[in-house]
Structure 1
Amino acid sequence: MARASKTAGPTTAATVALTKADVAFTPHAYHHDDAATDFGDEAARALGIDPARVFKTLLVDTDAGLAVAVVAVASMLDVKAVAAAVGAKRAAMADKAVAERKTGYVVGGISPFGQKTRLTTVLDDEALAHDTIFVSGGRRGFDLEIVPADLVRLTGAVVAQIRRG
């Protein structure tokens, strides 16, 4: 995996963090439709990738604090499973404004890398079934292809089943 490709995108806090940590990634830029609201599905379609390999980054508000949940766009997030993975009893999706303020990214472009505030990260165990996965690169219309083990190592992620079903 390289640090540049024909579809190279912008420099973001995520790409800076990965480069600084010497983690290999491949950037994939695509045209973002401003009318789109299902950002992960948009990325999968635009890049011609199986949605099971494209992962969304969501913030969950637990009674133990905020947590970052990374789950395939083809799956539904189980917030109770996220709570259990971080040792909390209750959880709900974080408010959009809180998610943007804590991560430094806009919703639809939240990356698990380079966030303003380091939060506990939980990666769905399904990610480990793939050689590489795609996560947001820190902007709408920009994804990063990365080895799941590198995501775990760099973020210190807990790996657990956090998808429903």
Structure 2
Amino acid sequence: MSETPRTPEPARQDDLPEGARHVARLLAGLGHDQPIVLLPTTGKTSAEAAAGLGCDVAQIAKSILFRRAADDTPVLVIASGVNRVDEKKVAAQVGDLARADARFVKENTGYSIGGVSPIGHVVSPLTLIDEDLLKLTSLWAAAGHPHAVFNLTPTQLVAMTGAPVVDVALRD
């Protein structure tokens, strides 16, 4: 597959689930000009999202939430869809990590697993961006619902989140 994805049909605001409407409002407030699109099937995994978009799995900016063990602060890692996150590398940046279950994810982000957007969380997380995402020209990120995504550039992702770009990938 090429790095240039096919262009899915933008969703009408009225057709979006509430979480995606929330993200659409935030994106509009940031002046982001790319619409939210709804995938025909779930985008809970990077492979499913890439298949629905016709893009490379690497272009999926997946959001993985951890919990910092010391104080229960949410830690959001936005990683390339092809990378597994190295928890030791993340812990070296933010402190020891603990598992974030579905309840923790929903309570702290406002989104369900599979739909966690990089922006608009209930509790502002400590966020890290996978440096491998900056090698690409086009990314797709979850938009508040497992079927909703939006297109952006790596530069836009960094600007929207204000997060540092670091090496978080597990390397064999």
TM-score when normalising by structure 2: 0.82
Distance 2:161 2:116 in 1: 14
Over the matched positions of the two proteins, sequence identity in percent amounts to: 24
Larger % of strand: which? 1
Out of 6, 9, 25, the residue aligned to residue 7 of structure 1 is 9
| Structure 1: runs of 5 or more not aligned | none
1:16-165 equivalence runs, <5 A = 16-33=25-42, 38-62=44-68, 63=70, 65-86=73-94, 88=95, 90-165=96-171
Kindly tell me: are residues 160 and 46 of structure 1, through their superposed partners in 2, closer, same or farther at Cα, counting changes over 3 Å? same
Distance 1:78 1:16 in 2: 33
| Structure 2: runs of 5 or more not aligned | 1-6
Distance 2:8 2:60 in 1: 19
How far has the Cα of 1:27 moved from its partner? 2.6
Question: How big is the alpha-carbon RMSD for the aligned residues of Structure 1 and Structure 2?
Answer: 1.9
Distance 1:112 1:130 in 2: 17
Mean Cα deviation higher: 42-51 or 8-17: 8-17
Distance 2:28 2:55 in 1: 24
The 4+ residue runs of structure 1 with deviation greater than 2 A are 9-12, 23-28
Distance 2:150 2:156 in 1: 12
Number of residue pairs matched by the alignment: 156
Distance 2:122 2:22 in 1: 9
TM-score when normalising by structure 1: 0.86
